[in-house]
Amino acid sequence: MELERLPSNLINEEILARFELETLCTVACVSKALRFSVDTQVLPFLSSLHFPESLIPDANALYHVLSRCTRRGRKTHSLKTLNLNCQRLHHSCLTLLLGKQVEQLNFFCCSLLSSQFLVSIGKNCPFIRVLTLELADGGLPHVFNRDLVDMLCRCHFLECLFIKIRGAEVDAKAFNSIECFLPKTIKLLKLKPMLEENAICLANKLGVGINFSAIEDFSVTVSPTSYGCTLQYLSLVLDVISDRLLLTIASSLPLLVELDLEDRPNKEPSPHLDLTNSGLQSLGSCHHLSSLSLIRSRQNYQVSFKRINDMGMFLLSESCKNLQSVRLCGFSKVSDAGFASLLQSCQKLKKFEVRNALFLSDLAFHNLIGTQCALVEVRLLSCNLITSESVKKLSSSNSLEVLDLCGCKSIADSCFSSISSLQRLTSLNLTGADITDSGLSVLGQRSPPISYLSLRRCKRITDKGISLLLCGEIVRTLAALDLGYLPGISDNGIFTFVAAGKEITELSIRCCFYVTDSSLQALATKRRFQDGSKQLKQLDLFNCTGLSAEALWLLKSPSFSGLHWVGIGETRLASKGGAVITEIRKERPWLTLCIDGCEMGCRDGWHLHTLESF
């Protein structure tokens, strides 16, 4: 092998040391020499351990990797940064990762952990600076609160804290009064969920000690030692977003750079507890504010910010002209004029997202043509008045990389000529659009470097459209394709994918009822034998009722050797798999067989899973 002829120090320090964990494991399987280099010269000297998002290790896999990250003669590893999905890991496993050297922990989907793990972090990681923890259940609010306070009292250097509790019944009182124990070093704070009244106390407490007269010149850097806590990023999920909350945040946290607020009301907020134009205007006091997200979720109750209209948007756009990112959802009374004021006044705007806007139409983007547009990311979700004309206006931005039009049902084939001119576009979501096979022909032949494409619920797309799409330039860059809920897709469309989609590693064909065992057989055969094709890492087969129970055998080794996640819920593979599923799980501990109907990679609903779900 040519690589082995290079000097060992060059291989270890300049090549292997730059690889991710998944790539290192692959390289180690090539030869004994490379395995020796990875085990003795690379893994023991890693300072960061990052498991890919699609890999969900169990205890044995974690022990296996961790043992190789420990140098000879030492009992513990020297890892400072750890990122992994903890869905299959218990408290005892994760405690082995903790130590005084740890500075950053990002633990996601911790479905088997309790708040007691916070106490372990406090005892073992006194110098930790960054902590991200997603828990499935906070337990009793007073117990969680006690354990969190215990950790905060020990971690005096904490700069970034993100704690998210998921569950059907979550008590937001779990974060009550923690503002008294947060270290003054804190710069980024994400807490989900939280009560509005506790959030107000939090903002008031963090603002204590700031000398407002001393920071009138916002070009001067303010240090925590001089003026108390200098929180720059605040993200909260609340019961309600009110004027009182925004006024408190604006007056107490003038150094705020990013503000992310989402509320989930259980009923219509009373007038004195709701957000109005005055609350939006108060954000002008945050002269550093560059990113703003205000979301009113419909998760608990169908409600919107009914007391905010175009005037509120005018006031916001005039007082916060330095905004670079805006995310808005639930502003049902705002029309084109209000949204257009943000696009026109905020000259540095790069990210613009609006959801469920009843009165947002193409007119909001009318003045983009002929102006210097710096937009990089545009997401217009479930905005029914948006048509292909908006895409034409947005095509004037030479910097656009992400275009998400999910739920914009009036988008038609005419949009593709404009999309084709976006030379930097890498992500395109056309879920629910009124596009046809002819439009896909245009996209395939004159495509920008798109790596992610969603055609979900585009009901006029058929096998012919997939053939026209994948015969063009787009196949060179396309890595993820969503064909979910397409009644016109059958085995023929999947055969086209097998023949042409060499770069695609993520494929969703959920609820494609005419896909049969032949498609799965073709996918397995292609990925095993055809040279030049990348292996599938994630495959969504949810509710593909045309698959038989016998097709489950295709998921056994050696087929689909690169597969990390497969969704088989509501299929015969799940209902009649039985012993075969158990056998596959033992044979392939890295593979997640999700039977719960989650979206790709179990990004939603992970807290509902039990060990038996995998």
**Residues contacting 362, CB < 8 A, separation 6+:** 385, 386, 387, 389, 390, 393
Considering only residues 237 and 603, tell me which one the structure prediction assigns the higher pLDDT. 237
pLDDT at position 225 over 70 = no
- Determine what percent of the chain is predicted with pLDDT higher than 90: 64
Lowest-confidence range among 66-70, 123-127, 256-260, 458-462? 66-70
Helices (H), 283-335: 310-319
User: What is the pLDDT confidence band of residue 209, given thresholds at 50, 70 and 90?
Assistant: very low
CATH fold label, 361-504: 3.80.10
Position 217 scores a pLDDT of 43
User: Left, alpha or beta for 435 (phi > 0: left; psi -120 to 50: alpha)?
Assistant: beta
User: What is the pLDDT confidence band of residue 5, given thresholds at 50, 70 and 90?
Assistant: low
pLDDT digits (tens, 9 = 90+) for 265-278: 989 999 888 999 99
- Determine what percent of the chain is predicted with pLDDT higher than 70: 85
Asked if omega into 487 is within 30° of 0 (cis), the reply is: no
pLDDT digits (tens, 9 = 90+) for 46-75: 788 888 777 788 898 888 888 878 766 566
What is the distance between the alpha carbons of residues 614 and 606, in angstroms, rounded to a whole number?
A: 11
Residue carrying structure tokens 């400072």 = 80
Could you give the C-alpha distances from 402 to 9, 405, 422, 439, in angstroms and in order?
40, 10, 10, 19
What is the distance between the alpha carbons of residues 50 and 129, in angstroms, rounded to a whole number?
A: 17
Position 211 scores a pLDDT of 45
Asked if omega into 44 is within 30° of 0 (cis), the reply is: no
**Residues contacting 603, CB < 8 A, separation 6+:** none
User: What is the pLDDT confidence band of residue 13, given thresholds at 50, 70 and 90?
Assistant: very low
Q: Mean pLDDT for the chain?
A: 87
pLDDT at position 36 over 80 = no
User: What is the pLDDT confidence band of residue 507, given thresholds at 50, 70 and 90?
Assistant: very high
pLDDT at position 608 over 60 = yes
pLDDT digits (tens, 9 = 90+) for 534-581: 889 999 999 999 999 999 999 998 889 889 999 999 999 998 888 899
pTM of the model: 0.89
Say how many C-beta atoms besides its own lie within 10 A of residue 7's C-beta. 9
Position 14 scores a pLDDT of 46
Task: Map out the domains of the chain as residue ranges.
Answer: 1-46, 361-504, 534-607
The identity of residue 130, as a single letter, is: V
Position 174 scores a pLDDT of 87
User: What is the pLDDT confidence band of residue 33, given thresholds at 50, 70 and 90?
Assistant: low
What is the distance between the alpha carbons of residues 67 and 18, in angstroms, rounded to a whole number?
A: 20
Residue 261: which of 230, 295, 231 has the closest Cα? Answer: 295
pLDDT digits (tens, 9 = 90+) for 441-455: 999 888 899 999 999
pLDDT digits (tens, 9 = 90+) for 77-113: 789 999 999 988 999 999 999 999 999 999 999 989 9
